[in-house]
């Protein structure tokens, strides 16, 4: 299985009568934005198209569903093409995998560097900040006119995957594509309201409670916070609602290592860590058999949360001490 060009993928889509689209499980703004944009474009081109969902989309992304999303695997019984978006491997759409490979032709459009081609046609561009950028190029290459709905879906993908054009993956092209979307009439501020002003109350509350546990140590170079099952139950929140907490800790001035400990169940804690500039959190995670990248890593500690906090704190302090000795 090899890499194909955007044009080759466009030609396959142009030939097809029916196309079923697959965002990944726990779909985010890029997977859903990409799928919605392509669904809108293919319908404009007269194709029978739908987005086969793994689960209900988060509230923030419901606006993308202009009659596109379905849970019915039989909505298109025998699709000419099954195409997955933003998925590095078939395990990213596990319960829909069988249906995917029933497509007469399969296509994978993705931007994860680690992805291996697994479909009949594959276009994987690790330099693209978002899969939505590739969808933009695909729609342009097919000669389908961009419009407000398609443009806002692409914009959603780009914004969410670039952290609003702040993450290092953002490129000149992310901005050039976005500029072109303005010509299609997008209301970027409306998208921002949908995506960022729809925070579930339980998320607001659990984030507030969690950040309230913040503790600074190692002379202010490290920050740690935690969430317990009891806290989650009190707020009716899930662990997913604490996404973003570790970044909030890292954003404190002077903090070089941020650690966030989640009690998954009794005697099982998951740790997320972030480094700001010089520290290496992958090394700290490795102490506990975990791993990741220099600036974002994690590990699992099979112990009581209080013990986990203590052990992790020690490891972080030691790591910072070693770094200082080297300076």
Q: State the residues that interact with a copy of itself by CB under 8 A.
A: 59, 159, 163-168, 170-173, 175-176, 178-179, 182-183, 188-189, 192-193, 196-201, 204-205, 208, 211-212, 214, 216, 220, 248, 250-254, 276-277
* CA–CA distance, 209 with 241 (Å, rounded to integer): 12
Least separation, in Å, of the C-beta of 208 and a copy of itself? 5
Nearer CB in complex with a copy of itself: 151/290: 151
Least separation, in Å, of the C-beta of 219 and a copy of itself? 12
Q: Give SS3 for 110.
A: strand
Nearer CB in complex with a copy of itself: 9/279: 279
Nearer CB in complex with a copy of itself: 19/258: 258
Neighbours of 98 (CB within 10 A): 10
Q: Count of alpha carbons within 13 Å of 67, Cβ hemisphere only?
A: 4
59 is written with which tokens? 């509230």
| Cβ atoms of 39 and 64 closer than 8 Å | no
For 43, phi and psi rounded to 5 degrees?
A: -65, -40
Nearer CB in complex with a copy of itself: 58/117: 58
Least separation, in Å, of the C-beta of 69 and a copy of itself? 19
Nearer CB in complex with a copy of itself: 268/296: 296
* CA–CA distance, 243 with 245 (Å, rounded to integer): 6
Least separation, in Å, of the C-beta of 167 and a copy of itself? 7
Least separation, in Å, of the C-beta of 294 and a copy of itself? 14
* CA–CA distance, 305 with 229 (Å, rounded to integer): 10
Nearer CB in complex with a copy of itself: 2/172: 172
Burial of 261 (0-12, 13-18, 19+ CB in 10 A): buried
Nearer CB in complex with a copy of itself: 83/150: 150
Least separation, in Å, of the C-beta of 311 and a copy of itself? 25
Query: What is the side-by-side order of every strand in the sheet holding 18-23?
Result: 69-70, 48-52, 18-23, 81-85, 105-110, 121-124
* CA–CA distance, 193 with 152 (Å, rounded to integer): 12
* CA–CA distance, 164 with 174 (Å, rounded to integer): 10
Residue 243's contacts (CB-CB under 8 Å, 6 or more residues apart) are none
Least separation, in Å, of the C-beta of 157 and a copy of itself? 14
């Amino acid at each position: 299985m090899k890499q194909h060009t955007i044009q080759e993928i466009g030609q396959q889509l142009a030939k097809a009568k029916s196309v079923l689209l697959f965002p990944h499980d726990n779909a985010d703004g890029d997977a859903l934005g990409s799928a919605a944009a392509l669904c809108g474009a293919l319908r404009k081109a007269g194709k029978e198209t739908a987005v086969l969902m793994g689960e209900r989309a988060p509230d923030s992304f419901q606006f993308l569903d202009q009659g596109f999303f379905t849970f019915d695997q039989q909505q298109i019984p025998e699709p000419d093409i099954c195409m997955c978006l933003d998925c590095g491997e078939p395990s990213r759409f596990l319960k829909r995998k069988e249906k995917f490979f029933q497509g007469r032709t399969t296509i994978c459009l993705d931007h994860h560097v680690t992805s291996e081609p697994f479909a009949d046609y594959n276009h994987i561009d690790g330099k693209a900040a978002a899969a939505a950028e590739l969808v933009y190029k695909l729609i342009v290459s097919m000669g389908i006119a961009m419009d407000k709905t398609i443009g806002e879906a692409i914009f959603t993908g780009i914004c969410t995957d670039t952290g609003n054009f702040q993450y290092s993956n953002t490129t000149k092209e992310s901005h050039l594509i976005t500029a072109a979307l303005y010509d299609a009439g997008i209301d970027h501020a409306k998208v921002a309201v949908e995506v960022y002003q729809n925070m579930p109350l339980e998320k607001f509350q659990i984030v507030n409670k969690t950040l309230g546990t913040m503790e600074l140590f190692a002379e202010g170079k490290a920050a740690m916070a935690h969430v317990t099952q009891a806290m989650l139950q009190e707020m009716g929140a899930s662990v997913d609602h604490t996404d973003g907490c570790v970044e909030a800790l890292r954003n404190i001035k002077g903090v070089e290592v941020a650690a966030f400990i989640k009690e998954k169940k009794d005697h099982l804690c998951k740790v997320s860590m972030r480094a700001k500039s010089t520290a290496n959190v992958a090394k700290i995670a490795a102490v506990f058999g975990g791993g990741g990248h220099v600036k974002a890593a994690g590990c699992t500690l099979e112990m009581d949360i209080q013990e986990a906090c203590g052990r992790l704190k020690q490891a972080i302090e030691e790591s910072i001490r070693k770094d200082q000795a080297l300076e």
